Structure 1
């Protein structure tokens, strides 16, 4: 019984490994379909353009619009102008002193 369940588990594992390799392998190799190749080329191009951490293919109008929106959000949420609104806030939870619980005499 144990050997039968082990064999069954091995078959499932082998099938899953084959499926996962079948899904990932085309992405690692050069695509045979021209549409797939175009998609992969665009993804690689976007990766190169986005390396600086700035907006990809932005122009001064888009940069101005981003600044306007960030200023609006800063005003709406009460920023003092020094706070970076693109950074995730850091929370501090101070330890609260709790009085020990004492049992009343019975």
Structure 2
């Protein structure tokens, strides 16, 4: 399973970004290899259909779940249609490290 996490920075202590399409980076956690990689969101300043373009890119990386502070209606419908789980943390200050700790506690 690969989880994409929308972040402000490419560090473990980075908080989850509140907007899926406007985050600066995505962290990709691969549950099989237990590795994290980062990708800069080059679409974050695009003016039109940013969320769908990013969601499509994430699908090309075989993502099965996405974590962000919120998802737009179009993106949520698109991801739901592709059976990608969307996760919104309860706390606004949740970091990548917090998410990884939670994911690993369920293994």
The structure with more helix, counted as a fraction of residues: 1
Structure number with larger C-alpha Rg? 1
The TM-score with structure 1 as length reference comes to 0.22
The TM-score with structure 2 as length reference comes to 0.22
Higher relative contact order (CA 8 A, sep 6+): 2
